A and B are shown apart, each in its own frame.
Chain A
């Protein structure tokens, strides 16, 4: 996988974790099970550090997509973009494309093959 895509996936996972910890209802649910969410500030710092490692070009694109769609990176399942359900050409997953951050030709979301 492209190293920048790896960082973008990790960033999106981390941002979802932060959102859930900040969501009062979801946080209360987890705290009710006994989980401590006290390290939120540390997690936000880690998120900033992670974001700083991402190439500004990819980072700015990720931010635009997140603002527009909620999630910038989406998995490809059954050759479909799970953001817009457009078909993804088989050529996108060829060896020659391994060093690219691939985008859906229809919606522009960043594609990830789980």
Chain B
């Protein structure tokens, strides 16, 4: 899947430039709050519970300084992606033990026509192998700049 297509599932309202959370649980809660604020989604409790279950299955912090909290839930009707950054970095139980600064949160409905959810996750994890691109994304001034950098990277 093309990265521009992935970005169709997010919006400026789903971009948290600098999280205030300092630990994993509060970071997940802050991102879910941002998701509810930026969409018509209402059931934040169900989404948070699903994300916590997913983290119990295995940390989603798999890239260098990057995490992809993700999962399917009845609480959403279409694939929705929230992007968040943390200047200070957050301990997200990454394999390398380093703090996580960049987050792509993907929430999908149980049934997902065209496998957009898995394809988007694959496209993002593939793109984020590039550490130089990750550094540029951390420096992007705003949502538009972030998206432009991601498409060009």
Contacts and interface: CB of A to CB of B under 8 A. Distances in A.
Contacts of A42: 56-57
A13 interface: yes
A69 to B, nearest CB: 12
Interface in B23-72: 41-43, 45-46, 49-50, 53-54, 56-60, 62-63, 68, 71-72
Classify chain B's interface size.
20 to 34
B57 A12 contact: no
A35 B128 CA distance: 14
Contacts of B126: 33
A33 B53 contact: no
B108 to A, nearest CB: 10
B114 to A, nearest CB: 15
Interface stretch (B10-18, B74-82, B83-91, B145-153): B74-82
Contacts of A29: 118, 122
A114 B41 contact: yes
Interface in B102-144: 109-110, 118, 121-122, 125-126
Classify chain A's interface size.
20 to 34
A60 interface: no
A5 to B, nearest CB: 10
Given A34-B62, A73-B74, A114-B76, A6 B45 contact: yes
A103 interface: no
Contact of B121 (A9, A14, A33, A73): A33
Interface of B: 41-43, 45-46, 49-50, 53-54, 56-60, 62-63, 68, 71-77, 95, 109-110, 118, 121-122, 125-126
